[in-house]
């Protein structure tokens, strides 16, 4: 796609596993992200779902160059982030920011809201001190916090309010790309709705491109334009949000969708659940071929041979990586 | 007669910052073999309710102010520690949220599994070991005979929760209290564990109390649901009534704010404000400050649970007196 704003090509992040204290030996590699290609248009929200350990957070950190990739490229606008270093990278960071899961751990307990946000503003845009308070106040109001709270410390706020502060901090540099790593997972349902509304309003108003990482399919479906499903370091299915959620094609996505409990007793009693055997395998020693084959109810011998390529059933943007895609979806 | 009859259970925590009214006059019944869901947000008192019944509240700062919890003729709140011990773990068992911290890392799975049987004198060591192996096999751990000699760190999260379930059910209890049993697990593993609890429940005829914040989990699992807010039950009824005929404004607002039930991209309903500060008692309904239907009446008088028919009760004055409809 030529109009892509964020382009990720065959991105790989491998971590060496070492043994020994004096003579460290590499005994294996964890392939946390293993060949992911994605492209996002400007203003698009992509939901990234998967179970714990599938590499979705590592993918987010790698895109933002918080972890250096083993291979592959990330291009944002006209800049190739994977080629940047030191100072260049630091100045490029004004364009992309991250929101973390736990608002209790991601805010410095010894800094006031003012000093946290002012620091973020100053980092990329020299602002005179006199204007700083106004800028911080405007930022706080943007995320739904009263500006008069700016001299308070994080412990004086509730979980939802803290997440608002974390969002304000990410927005301080006026970024174009936001990676939100499980931003609502630590929050109660009623607070979760507030933050989801805020995020979708902000992306619309500021034309933000966002990667929304979560393990909760119903939350992802609500906020995203497209959904990508990850399993063991790779994307197994990608497509428009409602299509992926309502008509999943890959056997893993099917199982995942059927496992999500719906708050609706009637559909819950009639729905057939696909129960997957076992736990997700260790990325240290992934199975051969399609990494899902040991848990897949439809696996055949050829599934063990090679990683399947992406295919589309109706020649549209909804694609899945499964060799039996056509026969399983008739 | 119900198997478990909780009446006016009230647990306060006396802290330096005042009296926290964690559970404030909770009453409910549990019949033999039924599944009861307790739903609420964090701090609504759902865990403290169950911990109070089993004497698991640290005292001080906690104190059970009043109430009774009658289980098969014994008042759990006022019986001797010895009596409670003979019931807890044997006739009422509990599983906790975090399977990573609830197993002893120093002991083999086998030693932990047989402990309930040995402590309650239900079996000698040899037959306890045999039962442990059968139980571990029943909860779906493959190659149980060799895994039983392993330590907790060798098991994944889902497997540890299976071990916890095996340990809780090994004494064939009458009641199983599951406190957020799947919150720490992935969705596909959550589906496995819920299915397992259901299967074991049917085989043993155990009554289950499922505590969770996830409305999705209770909808397919429970016969009846209690919705808790601010230390009180605000609505109680059969699962279908709670979901299809919600009466209390909090229950309605909660369902409107879950993305799963709303059309995609639609603005989610949000409950304004924050959960109540439980150390500051309110004269009226604790939800009144956040409720869009609240009137002066709601802040003046505490509502009581009243029946709406079909075992459906709600604690909202406006619903009861003015027939408020959504």
Would the pLDDT of A271 be above 60?
A: yes
Domain finish residue from B135, B152, B170: B170
Q: Any CB–CB contact under 8 A between A324 and chain B?
A: no
Whether A67 maps to a domain, the answer reads yes
Whether B185 maps to a domain, the answer reads no
Q: How far off is chain A from B168, nearest CA to CA, in Å?
A: 21
Whether A319 maps to a domain, the answer reads no
Whether A32 contacts A66, CB under 8 Å: no
Would the pLDDT of A248 be above 70?
A: yes
Q: Any CB–CB contact under 8 A between A215 and chain B?
A: yes
Q: How far off is chain B from A304, nearest CA to CA, in Å?
A: 22
The verdict on a CB contact (< 8 Å) between A189 and B41 is: yes
Interface test with A, best of B41, B270, B272, B289 (most A CBs within 10 A): B270
Determine the pLDDT at residue B210. Answer: 93
What is the tally of structural domains in chain B? 2
Segments in chain B below pLDDT 50: none
Whether A100 maps to a domain, the answer reads yes
The parent domain of residue B136 ranges over: 93-170
- Return the higher-pLDDT residue of A315 and B240: B240
Select from B219, B261, B268 the Cβ nearest to the Cβ of A261: B219
Helix (H) or strand (E) holding A59: helix A56-63
Select from B257, B259, B267 the Cβ nearest to the Cβ of A218: B259
pTM, two decimals, is 0.84
What SS3 class is residue A163? helix
Q: What is the CATH number of the domain that holds A176?
A: 3.40.50.300
Whether A145 maps to a domain, the answer reads no
Would the pLDDT of A155 be above 60?
A: yes
Residues of chain B contacting residue A258, judged by C-beta atoms under 8 Å apart: 191
Whether A215 maps to a domain, the answer reads yes
Q: How far off is chain B from A31, nearest CA to CA, in Å?
A: 19
Would the pLDDT of A8 be above 90?
A: yes
Q: Which two tokens stand for residue B234?
A: 């605000």
The verdict on a CB contact (< 8 Å) between B268 and A160 is: no
Q: How far off is chain B from A277, nearest CA to CA, in Å?
A: 8
Whether B263 maps to a domain, the answer reads yes
Residues of chain A with pLDDT > 70, as a percent, come to 99
The parent domain of residue A60 ranges over: 4-104+153-248
Whether A114 maps to a domain, the answer reads no
What is the tally of structural domains in chain A? 1
DSSP code at position A194: H
Select from A200, A261, A280 the Cβ nearest to the Cβ of B216: A261
In sequence order, which residues have a C-beta less than 8 Å from that of residue A148 and are 6 or more positions away?
Answer: none
Determine the pLDDT at residue A70. Answer: 92
Whether B150 maps to a domain, the answer reads yes
Whether B292 maps to a domain, the answer reads yes
Whether A281 maps to a domain, the answer reads no
Determine the pLDDT at residue B237. Answer: 92
The DSSP annotation for A123-158 comes to HHS---HHHHHHHHHHHHHHTT--GGGTT--GGGS-
Residues of chain B contacting residue A280, judged by C-beta atoms under 8 Å apart: 186
Q: What is the pLDDT of residues A107-151, one digit of tens each?
A: 999 999 999 999 998 888 778 888 899 999 999 988 888 888 889
Determine the pLDDT at residue B326. Answer: 59
Domain finish residue from B142, B170, B198: B170
- Return the higher-pLDDT residue of A284 and A250: A250
Determine the pLDDT at residue A1. Answer: 45
Whether A213 contacts A60, CB under 8 Å: yes
């Amino acid at each position: 796609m030529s109009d892509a704003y964020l382009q990720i090509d065959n991105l790989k992040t491998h971590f060496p596993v070492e043994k020994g204290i004096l003579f460290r030996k590499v005994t294996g590699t964890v392939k946390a992200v293993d060949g992911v290609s994605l492209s996002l248009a400007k203003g698009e929200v992509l939901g990234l779902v998967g179970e714990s350990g599938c590499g979705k957070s590592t993918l987010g950190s790698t895109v933002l160059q918080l972890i250096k990739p083993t291979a592959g490229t990330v291009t944002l606008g006209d800049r190739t982030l994977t080629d940047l270093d030191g100072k260049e990278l630091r100045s490029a960071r004004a364009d992309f920011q991250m929101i973390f899961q736990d608002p209790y751990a991601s805010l410095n307990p010894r800094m006031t809201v003012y000093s946290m946000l002012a620091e973020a503003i100053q980092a990329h845009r020299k602002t005179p001190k006199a204007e700083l308070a106004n800028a911080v106040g405007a930022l706080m109001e943007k995320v739904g916090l009263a500006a008069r709270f700016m001299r308070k410390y994080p412990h004086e706020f509730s979980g939802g309010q803290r997440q608002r502060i974390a969002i304000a901090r990410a927005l301080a540099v006026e970024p174009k790309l936001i990676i939100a790593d499980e931003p609502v997972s630590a929050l109660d349902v009623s607070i979760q709705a507030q933050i989801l509304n805020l995020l979708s309003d902000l992306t619309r108003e500021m034309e933000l491109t966002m990667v929304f990482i979560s393990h909760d399919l119903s939350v992802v479906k609500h906020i995203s334009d497209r959904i990508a499903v990850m399993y063991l370091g790779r994307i197994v299915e990608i497509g428009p949000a409602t299509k992926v959620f309502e008509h999943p094609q890959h056997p893993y996505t099917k199982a995942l969708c059927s496992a999500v409990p719906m708050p609706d007793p009637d559909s819950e009693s009639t729905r057939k659940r696909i129960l997957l055997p076992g736990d997700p395998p260790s990325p240290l020693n992934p199975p051969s071929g399609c990494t899902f084959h040991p848990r897949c109810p439809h696996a055949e011998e050829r599934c063990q041979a090679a990683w399947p390529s992406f295919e589309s059933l109706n020649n549209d943007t909804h694609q899945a990586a499964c060799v039996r895609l056509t026969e399983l979806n008739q | 007669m119900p198997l478990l009859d909780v009446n006016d259970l009230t647990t306060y925590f006396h802290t330096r910052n005042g009296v926290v009214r964690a559970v404030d006059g909770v009453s409910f019944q549990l019949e033999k073999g039924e599944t009861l869901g307790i739903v609420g947000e964090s701090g609504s008192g759902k865990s403290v309710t169950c911990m109070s019944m089993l004497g698991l509240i640290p005292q001080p700062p906690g104190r059970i102010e009043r109430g009774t919890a009658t289980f098969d003729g014994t008042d759990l709140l006022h019986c001797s520690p010895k009596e409670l011990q003979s019931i807890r773990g044997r006739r009422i068992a509990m599983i906790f949220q975090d399977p990573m911290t609830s197993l002893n890392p120093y002991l083999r799975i086998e030693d932990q599994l047989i402990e309930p049987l040995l402590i309650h004198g239900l079996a000698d060591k040899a037959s306890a070991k045999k039962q442990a192996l059968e139980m571990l096999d029943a909860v779906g751990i493959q190659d149980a005979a060799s895994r039983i000699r392993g330590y907790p760190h060798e098991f994944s999260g889902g497997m540890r929760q299976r071990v916890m379930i095996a340990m809780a059910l090994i004494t064939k209890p009458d009641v199983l209290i599951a406190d957020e049993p799947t919150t720490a697990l992935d969705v596909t593993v959550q589906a496995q564990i819920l299915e397992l609890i259901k299967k074991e429940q049917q085989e043993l005829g155990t009554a289950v109390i499922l505590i969770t914040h996830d409305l999705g989990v209770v909808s397919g699992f429970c016969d009846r649901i209690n919705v808790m807010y601010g230390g009180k039950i605000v609505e109680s009824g059969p699962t279908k009534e709670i979901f299809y005929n919600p009466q209390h404004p909090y229950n309605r607002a909660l369902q409107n704010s879950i993305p799963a039930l709303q059309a995609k991209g639609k603005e989610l309903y949000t409950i304004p404000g924050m959960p109540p500060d439980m150390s500051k008692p309110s004269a009226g309904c604790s939800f009144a400050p956040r409720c869009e239907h609240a009137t002066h009446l709601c802040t003046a008088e505490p509502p009581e649970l009243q029946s709406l028919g079909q075992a459906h009760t709600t604690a909202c004055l406006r619903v009861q007196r003015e027939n408020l409809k959504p």
